Amino acid sequence: MALFPHILIVLVIALGTWTTIGLAVAPQNLPPTQRIAAAPVIGWAVHSSLALPLHMLLGMSRTAIMVQFAVSLLAAGVVFIRRIDRSDVSSVPPWTYAAAVFVALAPAIAVFPKPFADGVALASPIFDHSKVAIIDEIIRNGAIPNNPFFGSGGDRLSYYYLWHFSAAELAVLIGVSSWEADAGLSWFTAAGSLLLMMGLAVWMSGRAASAAIVLLLAMTASARPVLAYALGRPAYEWLLQEASGFGGWLFQSSWAPQHLMSASCAIVATILLTETSLRNRSGILLLGLIAAAAFECSVWIGGVTFALASAAAAAMLLPGMMPKRRIEFIAGVLCASLLTALISSPMLRDQYMAAVQRGGCFPFALQSFWVFGDTVPFRRPLDVPGFWLIHLVVELPAIYPIAVCVIVLMLGDRMPNHLPKPITAGLLSIVACGLVIAAFGVSTVGINNDLAWRAALPAAMIMIVFAAAGISDWVARPKRLGLATAALGLGLGTPEGFQIIRQNAFPNATESARAFAKTPEMWATVRRHAGPFERVANNPYFQRDLTPWPINIAWALMSDRRSCYAGLEFAIPFTRLNDQQRNAIDAQFKRVFEGRAEPADVNELADRYGCTVAVVAAADGAWISDPFATSSAYRLVEEERGAWRIYRFDRDAKAN
């Protein structure tokens, strides 16, 4: 199980290392407030995007990682000492830095195990943190991971895994588990994004109070609970579609830290794109590395949203440039783009091959976001205006309405904005493109609309910045109407924010919570009988009630071994199988572990999917009707009476 002291060590080392690197490489023409606030994100992005190709060549040994970290820190320290200016003082109040780290614990704690009596409860976001299996795979196999979720033909993993690679680095460097590294890096990611927003809000408003307001706004969520109470549950369910994965900072940082890091990198890259850093080679290099990190953490944000937003920002900036400056800008952007493509080429190749093998379908399509309930008349035509007038207000009540007001006031010069106009244009392009993509884009890979959910995240972060800047101005003047609007938004968004935090910290225990507490011993035994590169077969739906959707979370968090088939929820995003193939394989594994195996099933587990070791638990239907016990292909190697049996494939016995 993950231990809090180990998670805290991961956080401290991550903050110390990547902040130092970020302070060394951040552009000097940024104000101190923004340089310091963006340092963790910049340092992580530069270090990780360079470390990944390096470790593709050197491997993931502890010695290689220690040397690489030591050289990076030493070089960063030397550069930082030479560049330090005692006049550089951040306008962000020092106490808010500590407050940001504390607030970042709210989403990160969702990853922590919650022990009680003789059991362990897990919060719902642990479902998406099942990608801990990717971290284990990188530690075992190196920076070019095979697919830990499915074994057929030794497919390489087709996923944007830079965030998980950096977690694997920390796990090897410190000697903690992959689960602990995931939790610590989630905490760091949330803190880094908060610091970035705080710095931007202070820079924009010129008021230190806006940093604290960022933290307050970040803790809010949807108005759905308040709306359901006010309208009554039947009317609420008739009016609106049920809640989806669309959400603000608190919700998305709990579930998908890799996308949150991509959003932070996209914001920093946009700032670099729109200010003057592209006039020198170091600025071009920095932009290329951070853009690559954004893509390698999230195709939806770094590969779609940022690409469109940066193109829109460039289109706004180019007409106002002098001809010579225009040529310099275009040349700098092209060079940075080539560097991004070069660094990201291994993942680009894998994503392309996965799309081809799935049938060559385009990864996203146009479709209006569904807002209204299925029984609302003319609901589909109404969805288009409903997204802007209802959905965004419901999902981001403390952010969207206030940010829209502030943006209108700033554009009309009725509210101060201390950001340079090019940077303001770049940030507005992120908001506009992110929300337009969310309104009309739908991803065709998988069953969830990840494109819309993730495209909205960088837009939501920038809207927090605008809203915080505006509220700080209304407090200082003061403006009663603005403050009343802010109070209403906070009142609507705070209840679900508290609910998310409570559920992250104090989840309800399921029926399997006590059994889950005993599984580490089982997986330790499995590791004794299965080599690091062998695949394990066990029930894909083992203790399925531990997560909102049925997956084998015990395998993902604690096995440290590849699965030959980890279940349908993993097969959809992480394999190149079409629907028919996935459903047939899923049905086959269900038959085996429910005790209804057909004659050829057990042999096929070994021959087709590489299942070297098989685990049958007492909760499986196969415990009573055990197909492995009667098979000539597998032999029993260890058993815990009344708990589990471990079998190993015996090639010689099968041949005889």
Please state the pTM of the whole predicted model. Answer: 0.94
Domain boundary among 468, 496, 524: 496
**Per-residue confidence band for 356, with pLDDT thresholds at 50, 70 and 90:** low
Residue 59 falls in which region: left (phi positive, over 0), alpha (psi -120 to 50) or beta: left
Over 70: is that where the pLDDT of 88 sits?
no
The answer to the question of residue 375 being in a domain is yes
What pLDDT is attached to residue 391?
94
**Residues 114 and 507 sit within 8 Å (Cβ to Cβ):** yes
Q: How far apart are CA 233 and CA 213, in angstroms?
A: 32
The answer to the question of residue 505 being in a domain is no
Average pLDDT over residues 143-154: 83
The answer to the question of residue 503 being in a domain is no
**Residues 114 and 120 sit within 8 Å (Cβ to Cβ):** yes
pLDDT by residue (tens digit) across 432-453?
A: 999 999 999 887 776 788 899 9
Beta bridge partners of residue 372, listed in sequence order: 240
State whether 460 and 519 are in the same domain. Answer: no
What pLDDT is attached to residue 159?
86
pLDDT by residue (tens digit) across 183-207?
A: 999 999 999 999 999 999 999 999 9
**Per-residue confidence band for 355, with pLDDT thresholds at 50, 70 and 90:** low
* Strand residues in 151-293 grouped as ranges (E): none
State whether 303 and 352 are in the same domain. Answer: yes
Over 70: is that where the pLDDT of 632 sits?
yes
At residue 19, what are phi and psi to the nearest 5 degrees? -70, -40
Over 60: is that where the pLDDT of 555 sits?
yes
Domain boundary among 448, 468, 496: 496
What pLDDT is attached to residue 354?
64
Over 60: is that where the pLDDT of 150 sits?
yes
Average pLDDT over residues 90-97: 87
The answer to the question of residue 589 being in a domain is yes
Number of domains in the chain: 2
As given in the structure block, the two tokens for residue 298 are 């999230």
State whether 145 and 262 are in the same domain. Answer: yes
As given in the structure block, the two tokens for residue 391 are 């959905």
Rounded (5°) CA angle 388-393-399: 110
Over 80: is that where the pLDDT of 652 sits?
no
pLDDT by residue (tens digit) across 8-25?
A: 999 999 999 999 999 999
State whether 248 and 313 are in the same domain. Answer: yes
What pLDDT is attached to residue 353?
66
State whether 461 and 568 are in the same domain. Answer: no
At residue 639, what are phi and psi to the nearest 5 degrees? -145, 140
Report the 10 Å Cβ neighbour count for 137.
26
User: Could you tell me the residue range of the domain that residue 612 belongs to?
Assistant: 513-655
State whether 483 and 451 are in the same domain. Answer: yes
Q: What percent of the chain has pLDDT over 70?
A: 95
The answer to the question of residue 141 being in a domain is yes
State whether 484 and 569 are in the same domain. Answer: no
Over 90: is that where the pLDDT of 268 sits?
yes
Give me the CATH number covering residue 592: 3.40.50
What pLDDT is attached to residue 187?
98
CA 567, distance to chain mean position in Å, is: 21
Q: How far apart are CA 211 and CA 616, in angstroms?
A: 53
Q: How far apart are CA 649 and CA 653, in angstroms?
A: 9
Strands 644-649 and 611-617, by their bridges, are antiparallel
The answer to the question of residue 98 being in a domain is yes
State whether 102 and 209 are in the same domain. Answer: yes
State whether 564 and 640 are in the same domain. Answer: yes
State whether 178 and 296 are in the same domain. Answer: yes
State whether 106 and 41 are in the same domain. Answer: yes
The answer to the question of residue 567 being in a domain is yes
State whether 528 and 420 are in the same domain. Answer: no
The answer to the question of residue 544 being in a domain is yes
pLDDT by residue (tens digit) across 479-538?
A: 889 899 999 999 999 999 999 999 999 999 888 999 999 899 999 999 999 999 999 999
Q: How far apart are CA 563 and CA 147, in angstroms?
A: 9
**Residues 271 and 458 sit within 8 Å (Cβ to Cβ):** no
Beta bridge partners of residue 120, listed in sequence order: 115
- The per-type count for the chain, helices as H runs and strands as E runs, is 28, 9
**Per-residue confidence band for 118, with pLDDT thresholds at 50, 70 and 90:** confident
Domain boundary among 444, 466, 496: 496
